[in-house]
Amino acid sequence: MAADNARHELFLMREIDAPTTKIYRAWTDPELLKQWFCPKPWGVCHAELDVRTGGSSFIVMKGPNGEEVENRGVYLEVVSNEKLVFTDAFTTAWVPSEKPFMTGIVVLEPLGDGRTKYTAIARHWTEEDKKTHEAMGFHEGWGAATDQLVALLAEI
């Protein structure tokens, strides 16, 4: 990874006691994604996922006071059970978004014995966007969502 990319990245890395297939399914099945994607008390009330390179996603997060945040994006790369790359720089059909914020990269690497090295990266266009994401609680929020993902994986 080039140093230029790394300077605007935030990332989370964990070893998860689940196979890559289960984690990938939790990222790509809308009904499963709704159960873990946002740190509580927030949640996902709507998820449309066209998981293929060039496919779009539409996720609506709902806050505890009824506030809703819409997230539209496009999948840039999809490698089943290994990697997802998505961005909010485009909406459906490669229509540019008003303000691109980040590209997300999820890498799943099998460790053996049904365990997976899980790496989630948020790559930003600018240092300012990276700092904004940190201030929004990237580490706490993505960490809590990953904890929720792990709990769900134990049930499915």
Give pLDDT tens digits for 48-95.
Answer: 999 999 999 999 999 999 999 999 999 999 999 999 999 999 998 789
**H-run or E-run covering 28:** helix 20-28
8 Å CB contact between 22 and 34: no
**How far is it, in rounded angstroms, from Cα 43 to Cα 18?**
23
Residue 42 has pLDDT above 60, yes or no: yes
How many domains does the chain divide into?
A: 1
Closest CA to 94 of 75, 77, 79: 75
Domain containing 55 equals: 3-155
What CATH number is given to the structural domain containing 105? Answer: 3.30.530.20
Residue 1 has pLDDT above 70, yes or no: no
**What secondary structure letter does DSSP report for 36?**
T
- Considering the entire predicted model, what is its pTM? 0.93
Beta strands in 23-93 (DSSP E): 43-49, 56-62, 68-79, 83-87
**What secondary structure letter does DSSP report for 9?**
E
